[in-house]
């Protein structure tokens, strides 16, 4: 039986299944569902819990022995199995299937893992879990839904929602849900009454980004080559790994190239910025970059960035830092690619 994540709370309020399987690529989302299940189990007198971390070499008899041994402290027990991989092998698949088929009434089995491909979801053990219990699958939160997800988390923690604040968190955490959640929890501590001082928070974000990768890219988008050099040299002095700059810059250039194509199809700049959920304070920077660089120029920057990445991996022979600085300076508009 499959249950959508947003329906889990309602499902749990109507009673517990004997088995729950939660999986997906986003650790935070999986953990949130597991926390809901465990809380409901606690309310239903499942107070004893044993956890097993299971890999391809796991001795499955350990779980069978645990189930066969009566608890000294409680009649109801949770047995939690964390699968480190969805590739259980023939032995593991058979053991898990048999385990599911012989669950005692006083045991709640909770299983979790990360992302599973379609072949793993068609496996015999997966079908056994689907038949005997509830399956909750989580998906990655796509960029276009990230701000909405942040706003929803803010609401759940008692914070008054603010789109600018949510957009700033989304931008600074680059889609990392764990980092986003940490920023939201910081807000909960800083503003216990739930009323966020947006100007104070946004100014704080600006100050933090002055000498960060975010500040570096924003300086390039603004066309401030002097500041680009200053921040870049500061990051090099701090031995910031070039892969961090490359990955952030690639995302920015890829997004700009996509917007540039839409601009060529006569979409208005305002509509494009809204579609891509560009943070309000960054709209002038993105607009400036789109006016300054054609799609062809942005593609050349991306190609150059690809060569830099290959050089970093030893597959090309460019000077990584020099070439990376050159791409940033070109983005700022100080130099232009030869047409």
What the block records as the tokens of 132 is: 């005997």
pLDDT of residue 210: 59
pLDDT band with cut points at 50, 70 and 90 for residue 339 = very low
**Each residue of 23-37: pLDDT tens digit?**
999 999 999 999 999
Examine the pLDDT at 70 and tell me if it is beyond 60.
yes
User: CA-to-CA distance for 199 and 235, rounded, in angstroms?
Assistant: 27
Residues 41-53, mean pLDDT to the nearest whole number = 88
pLDDT of residue 337: 44
**Each residue of 109-124: pLDDT tens digit?**
999 999 998 888 988 8
Question: In terms of C-beta distances under 8 Å and separation of at least 24 residues, what long-range contacts does 65-71 make, across chains too?
Answer: 67/99, 67/103, 67/104, 67/107
pLDDT band with cut points at 50, 70 and 90 for residue 19 = very high
Domains of the chain plus CATH, in order, are 5-137 (3.40.50.300), 143-208 (1.10.8.60), 211-332 (1.20.272.10)
Examine the pLDDT at 69 and tell me if it is beyond 90.
no
Mean pLDDT of the chain: 88
pLDDT of residue 240: 84
What the block records as the tokens of 203 is: 């100014």
**Residue 221: beta bridge partners?**
none
Judged by average pLDDT, the poorest of 184-193, 207-216, 280-289 is 207-216
Examine the pLDDT at 98 and tell me if it is beyond 80.
yes
pLDDT of residue 191: 92
Judged by average pLDDT, the poorest of 140-144, 213-217, 250-254, 291-295 is 140-144
Examine the pLDDT at 338 and tell me if it is beyond 50.
no
Residues 183-192, mean pLDDT to the nearest whole number = 92
User: CA-to-CA distance for 99 and 60, rounded, in angstroms?
Assistant: 9
Residues 293-298, mean pLDDT to the nearest whole number = 94
Examine the pLDDT at 228 and tell me if it is beyond 60.
yes
pLDDT of residue 129: 92
Look at residues 160, 165, 87, 78 and name the one whose alpha carbon lies nearest to residue 121.
Answer: 87
pLDDT band with cut points at 50, 70 and 90 for residue 225 = very high
User: CA-to-CA distance for 274 and 291, rounded, in angstroms?
Assistant: 17
pLDDT of residue 33: 95
Instruction: Give the distance from CA 173 to its chain's centroid.
Output: 9
82: helix, strand or coil: strand
């Amino acid at each position: 039986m499959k249950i959508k994540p947003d329906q889990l709370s309602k499902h749990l309020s109507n009673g517990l299944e004997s088995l729950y399987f939660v999986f997906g690529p986003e650790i935070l989302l999986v953990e949130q569902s597991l926390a809901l299940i465990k809380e409901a189990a606690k309310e239903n007198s499942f107070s004893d819990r044993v956890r097993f971390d299971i890999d391809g070499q796991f001795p499955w008899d350990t779980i069978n022995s645990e189930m066969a041994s009566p608890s000294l402290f409680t009649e109801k027990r949770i047995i939690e199995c964390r699968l480190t991989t969805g590739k259980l092998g023939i032995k593991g698949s058979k053991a898990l299937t048999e385990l599911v088929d012989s669950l005692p009434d006083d045991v709640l089995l909770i299983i979790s893992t990360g992302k599973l491909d379609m072949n793993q979801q068609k496996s015999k053990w997966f079908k056994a879990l689907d038949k005997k219990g509830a399956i909750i699958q989580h998906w990655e939160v796509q960029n276009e839904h990230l701000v909405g997800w942040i706003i929803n988390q803010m609401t759940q923690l008692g914070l008054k929602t603010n789109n600018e604040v949510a957009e700033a968190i989304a931008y600074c955490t680059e889609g990392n849900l764990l980092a986003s959640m940490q920023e939201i929890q910081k807000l909960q501590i800083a503003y216990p009454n739930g009323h966020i001082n947006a100007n104070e928070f946004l100014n704080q974000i600006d100050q933090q980004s002055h000498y960060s990768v975010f500040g570096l890219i924003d300086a390039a988008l603004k066309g401030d080559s002097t500041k680009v050099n200053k921040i870049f040299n500061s990051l090099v002095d701090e031995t910031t790994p070039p892969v961090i700059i490359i990955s952030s810059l690639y995302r920015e250039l890829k997004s700009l190239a996509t917007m540039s194509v839409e601009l060529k199809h006569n979409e208005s700049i305002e509509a494009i910025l809204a579609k891509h959920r560009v943070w309000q304070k960054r709209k002038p920077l993105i607009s400036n970059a789109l006016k300054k660089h054609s799609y062809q120029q942005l593609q050349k920057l991306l190609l150059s960035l690809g060569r830099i990445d290959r050089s970093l991996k030893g597959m090309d022979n460019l000077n990584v830092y020099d070439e990376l600085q050159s791409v940033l300076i070109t983005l700022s508009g100080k130099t232009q690619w030869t047409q």
